[in-house]
Structure 1
Amino acid sequence: MVKCQYYTSNVIGGFMLIFEHCQFLIDSPIKLDMFFNNSRYFKQLFHFHPGIEMIFVHEGSGQLILEQSIYEVKPGTLIFLKPYQPHYLQMQISPGKPYIRSLIKYETSYFSENLKAFPQLHEFHEYICSDTSTAQVQYVPEWKRFEQFLQENYERLQRHPYRNQMEGNALFLVTILHYLYPLWNTGNVSKQRRQAAAPTVAKMIRWIDENYEQDFQLEALAQAVHISPNYASHLFRQTTGKTIMEFLTDRRLKQACILLKTTSGSVQEIGEKSGWVNFNYFCSIFKKRMGMTPKQYRHH
């Protein structure tokens, strides 16, 4: 099972961690975790992480909040998550309803370098990594065939491992892209976003994403989606399992983490750009959630 480290010291509601750090991507830039029953270990976290994450669902159902949309998750769903992209996967797990998935995590630049020998696939990979219009949640047609394809190729890799493990993993990932490429291109894979059961909540998430830097007013959010403030709070919590303020805090923390790692601005400036006017409160909530101060995080 792929293991990562989570930076937080406080979990709210049992499923709120903000940053997943995958140290292994430095030494092992492609990690395979195939056909794994994740029912016991699965955590519902609104989080983001470096590297790309590709998930194929074999068994299980639920929903995914990805940026500003809500998608249905079911067997045959393929999820493509970009680096540092916030997402929140909720799965309905019970003794008779396991969550079984295949997971591939990889470092973008490393794999992109491997793809240069295949210009068409390289261009396709660049497209799904960078184009904002690409569908990141795919419902694979005749998905049992794709599942069989994964199993046969993965078993072959295990029976005849490469001397260099990363070479084997890279070739395995190339074969997956080669399989998916015509599906993405011809439109045989559904590219319709499914804001399942909650178009209003999707609009609320979009509003938060566009206004997290501003002083938050529940009345303004409710007015933007044409419902009452009380109903807005109830609907958001009922649909996502999180309060609006918890979600807003996660979004601001995500922005602060990115700015701390990618800019040279002062901690106070970054706090303000991320939506916190009160510098002391920003430092307090950051340390409470991330388990370290903003300055420590920057140099970690």
Structure 2
Amino acid sequence: MRYHHEIIESDPELPVFYIFHNERKDSGVLAHWHKSLEISYTMSGKISEFTIGGIVHETNAGDILVINSNEVHSIWDEHNQTKALSLIFPYAFIKSEIPDYDNKSFRLTNRLAYSDLQREKLAELRGLLDRYFVVMESDGAEKARLLLKGMLYQILFLLDTHFSVPKTDQNRGSSSLPLISAITEHIDENLEKDLALDQLAVAFHLSYTHLCRLFKKETGSTIHSYIVEQRLNQAVKLLMFTDKNIRYIVDACGFPNQKSFSAAFKNKYGLTPKRYRDENKA
């Protein structure tokens, strides 16, 4: 599986992570979840399989999906030239602006049941996302901070006012997710360390077998695959946004040696770390 994501972290003043996906080959994202609220907007092309909470969606240009807090989601795209935009709002920000957020979900999938007003507001939402992309790509967060902030609040207002539904027991997520979230948080905060699975099991008072089975059941991925995925994600950030050498990145991301790092990186991205940096770093 090969990926090509252009990842842009916004100005600290903006309450969102902005990610522009420009897929050039078959690509995908392993099953994962987070407490943040994520909006995915397919700008051109199509995404073959966008799975949210076990439901598979195929998106086309103009489609918008919302991933609510703790919804397990994954992506597989076998089409070339797919362009998509993701906006990820941290949970703390959403909670501060929408105090009853824990009791609702945002849904944009049942379009046949939309009212005329909802169709109008969906078109307005598309327009805001298109404009947000143009402003970010042309002016950037620093020059257009106030304009971008205004658009983000308009986006949230439209979601909350026109596309929110009460959260039911069925869409609150698995009872095991708090434990899995604690495990993934521990992994994410200790990527540079030796994350032996038997030690992880002891740390969370689980048997080795139960840890592996539970993680696979809840995420669809093995815990080993998750660790490698997160280490590679961290490596990409260091390659793109710092001048740290490869040896430093190997150690900082917890790979045992440069050979294993290069093999894992090339398997995912189709390029060596050095070539990836040379071709993608501005």
Structure-2-length-normalised TM-score: 0.54
Q: SS where residue 271 of structure 1 aligns?
A: helix
Q: Which residue is 1:79 aligned to?
A: 67
| Shift in Å, 1:251 | 0.3
The answer to whether the aligner puts 1:272 opposite 2:251 as a matched pair is yes
Higher RCO, 1 or 2 (CA under 8 Å, sep at least 6)? Answer: 1
Q: SS where residue 276 of structure 2 aligns?
A: helix
Q: SS where residue 134 of structure 1 aligns?
A: helix
Structure 1 gap ranges (5+): 1-10, 12-16, 24-28, 32-40, 65-76, 82-86, 92-102, 109-127
Q: Which residue is 1:89 aligned to?
A: 73
Matches for 1:45-124 after TM superposition, within 5 Å = 45-46=30-31, 54-55=39-40, 62=53, 78-79=66-67, 89-90=73-74, 105=85
Contact 1:63 1:90 in 2 (8 A): no
| Shift in Å, 1:257 | 0.2
The answer to whether the aligner puts 1:139 opposite 2:118 as a matched pair is no
Q: Which residue is 2:181 aligned to?
A: 202
Q: Which residue is 2:48 aligned to?
A: none
Q: Which residue is 2:23 aligned to?
A: none
Higher strand proportion: 2
Quick one: structure 1 residues 182 and 166, their matched pair in 2 at CA, closer, same or farther if it must change by over 3 Å? closer
Matches for 1:1-300 after TM superposition, within 5 Å = 11=1, 19-21=4-6, 45-46=30-31, 54-55=39-40, 62=53, 78-79=66-67, 89-90=73-74, 105=85, 129=89, 132=92, 134-135=94-95, 139-140=105-106, 148=115, 149-154=117-122, 166=131, 175-180=154-159, 194-199=172-177, 200-300=179-279
Contact 1:213 1:275 in 2 (8 A): yes
Question: Aligned partner of 1:62: which letter?
Answer: G
Structure 2 gap ranges (5+): 9-17, 21-25, 42-50, 56-64, 76-82, 96-100, 136-149
Question: Aligned partner of 1:216: which letter?
Answer: L
| Shift in Å, 1:21 | 3.9
Q: How many residues align?
A: 211
Quick one: structure 1 residues 278 and 241, their matched pair in 2 at CA, closer, same or farther if it must change by over 3 Å? same
Contact 1:54 1:104 in 2 (8 A): no
Structure-1-length-normalised TM-score: 0.51
Quick one: structure 1 residues 176 and 104, their matched pair in 2 at CA, closer, same or farther if it must change by over 3 Å? farther
Q: Distance in 2 between matches of 1:20 and 1:225?
A: 33
Percent identity of paired positions between Structure 1 and Structure 2: 25
* CA RMSD, 1 decimal: 5.2
